[in-house]
Amino acid sequence: MLECMLKRTPLFEAHRKLGARLIDFGGWEMPVQYTGIVDEHLAVRNAAGIFDISHMGEITVSGPAAAEFLNGVLTNDIRKLADGEGQYTLMCNERGGVIDDLYAYRLSGEVFLLIVNASRVAADVAWLQDSLGRFARASDVSMTDASHNYAAVAVQGPRVREFIDKCFPEASTSGTRVARVTDLKKNQIGGFPYQGGSVLISRTGYTGEDGFEIVGRDDAICSVWEQLLAEGASFGLKPCGLGARDTLRTEMSYPLYGHELDENTTPIEAGLGFFVSLDKGEFTGRAVLATQKASGVTRRCIAFKMTGKSAPPRPHYPIRVKGERVGEVVSGTQSPSLNIGIGLGYVSAECAKAGTAMEIEIRGTACPAVIVQKPIYRKG
Amino acid sequence: MSANIPADLKYAKSHEWVRVEGDIATVGITDHAQHELTDVVFVELPATGRQVKAGEACAVVESVKTASDIYSPVSGEVVEVNRAVVENPALVNTEPYQGGWFYKVRLADSNELSRLLGPEQYAAQIGG
């Protein structure tokens, strides 16, 4: 019964044909893996992988006051974006707690696209609408939740640049103007003609590898998926599920909403101060974030590695330093690249320094670990 | 994806297998179970000498994504554990019925074996 209520992406049948194992992820029936998490993870690190990310939300914000509105609700400075550029940013409540973390793109002067977490689309739209209701120039802003209009894939890995251009033979016609997809620089986005329509392609991702994210109408994305799988096969491209997506982002120490981020956690506590522009003027949450940046926080998000053989760390396992409980794990797994247990956790700020020895309590056993610099994995 | 189910073993509904030789039972997890768990990265086994009861959680197997309890299909004293599978947990995936065994118990009550499933019954359970 429950299964009937889960949303499916336009790639659902493609996943089933590939023998994917499907799970409920934030109300979506999504592939967690095809051949295996480790196999898919290593394909992305060493060659290429393709992910269905159609569950993610797309919100368009446009109009003469769109930039001013967004700069009042997002933490990063949207004025830094030229046409065809994107930035990682966060949306906070008045307490500085994170409503969502997202990518904001300036498609053209007054037109912005926000790519948000699947599980947060409704909360984001409600928050944005409420904020817009209090915005002085609201009549100069138009906002649309276009999530149901779009599907998306991410194609990631060091060999993607060797085959992606074959799928998109024409130059971009909007956003960043380039002759080929591989001419896009990191965080640039362009609209590329595709089968009579067009798709948006950005040089972004959530894996730490070079790669692209492609957003478009359902039928275009289904076709992109098939074409990329065909063109990429000889380069080692594999379809990858949410399992590998999670291990890849954990190795890079990228936050995942609901783990590292929630409405009671600020970007400063999460170690994302780089994406908080305190000097751009007023924005929601600024007062709290400015205070935290100036006088410090009580807890911090840290990355750690297990130092001995142990079971993999998991969310909610207690973290101790010299026997005293100082925090808990929020993300943890066995790193397929490093072959050791790794994770992210929140600990008291005074013990958050890299190099600090700690213990993760795993089923009653204190297992040694050490705080490391982010990212946990670096290309060797 | 038909799972390998050796005819000479007994099975528990919770996907463990038992191989009986005299009063010693060897315990592991089935091919179907290892396939469901996927890449096994860690195995925690009971201490030698521990008395385990049928149905009791006495081992843990972890994949990249989750930790799963393993329930003893039979009661008795743990007389030997497989150190090789602790060192190399991938044996659970590659040789679930051979090198990937978990532990051996000296059976406390051989009548318990009659409550386990035969290969056909287990095949029906996982096929259904």
Q: Does A315 touch chain B (CB under 8 A)?
A: no
What gap in Å lies between CA A126 and CA A38, rounded to an integer? 38
Domain extent, residue A205, equals 2-54+150-250
Model confidence pLDDT, tens digit, residues A233-256: 999 999 999 999 999 999 999 999
What's the number of domains chain A is made of? Answer: 3
First to last CA, chain A: 48
DSSP string, A260-296: TB-TT--TTTTT-GGG--GGG---TTHHHHHHHHHH-
Do A114 and A73 lie in one domain? The reply is yes
- Measured from the Cβ of residue A274, the count of other Cβ atoms closer than 10 Å reads 9
Contact A30, A22 (CB under 8 A): yes
Where exactly are the structural domains of chain B?
10-127
DSSP string, B8-48: T-EE-TTSEEEEEETTEEEEEE-HHHHHHH-SEEEEE-PPT
CA atoms within 13 A on the CB side of A377: 25
What gap in Å lies between CA A293 and CA A300, rounded to an integer? 12
Instruction: Kindly identify which residue of chain B lies nearest to residue A342, measuring between CA atoms.
Output: B64
Model confidence pLDDT, tens digit, residues B112-121: 999 999 999 9
The nearest CA of chain A is from the CA of B37 a distance in Å of 10
Do A36 and A64 lie in one domain? The reply is no
| Residue owning tokens 């100036």 | A294
Query: End of a domain among A148, A165, A185?
Result: A148
DSSP string, A51-85: EE-TTSEEEEEESTTHHHHHHHHBSS-GGGPPTTE
Do A233 and A351 lie in one domain? The reply is no
Query: End of a domain among A232, A250, A268?
Result: A250
Instruction: Kindly identify which residue of chain B lies nearest to residue A19, measuring between CA atoms.
Output: B1
What gap in Å lies between CA A142 and CA A149, rounded to an integer? 17
Helix extents (H) in A6-143:
12-17, 37-46, 66-73, 121-133
CATH number of the domain encompassing residue A156: 3.30.1360.120
Contact A267, A283 (CB under 8 A): no
The domain B10-127 having CATH identifier 3.40.50.360: the answer here is no
Residue A271 lies in a domain: no
Per-residue model confidence as pLDDT tens for chain A (380 residues): 455 689 999 999 999 999 999 999 989 999 999 999 999 999 999 999 999 999 999 999 999 999 999 999 999 999 999 999 999 999 999 999 999 999 999 999 999 999 999 999 999 999 999 999 999 999 999 999 999 999 999 999 999 999 999 999 999 999 999 999 999 999 999 999 999 999 999 999 999 999 999 999 999 999 999 999 999 999 999 999 999 999 999 999 999 999 999 999 999 999 999 999 999 999 999 999 999 999 999 999 999 999 999 999 999 999 999 999 999 999 999 999 999 999 999 999 999 999 999 999 999 999 999 999 999 999 87
Query: Which residues 31-90 of chain A have a CB within 8 Å of chain B?
Result: 32-33, 36-39
Residue A273 lies in a domain: no
Instruction: Kindly identify which residue of chain B lies nearest to residue A335, measuring between CA atoms.
Output: B64
Model confidence pLDDT, tens digit, residues A327-351: 999 999 999 999 999 999 999 999 9
Considering only CB atoms, which chain A residues are within 8 Å of B63?
Answer: 37
Tokens of A209: 């590898």
- Contact pairs from chain A to chain B, CB under 8 Å: 37
Closest CB to B41 among A32, A243, A334:
A334
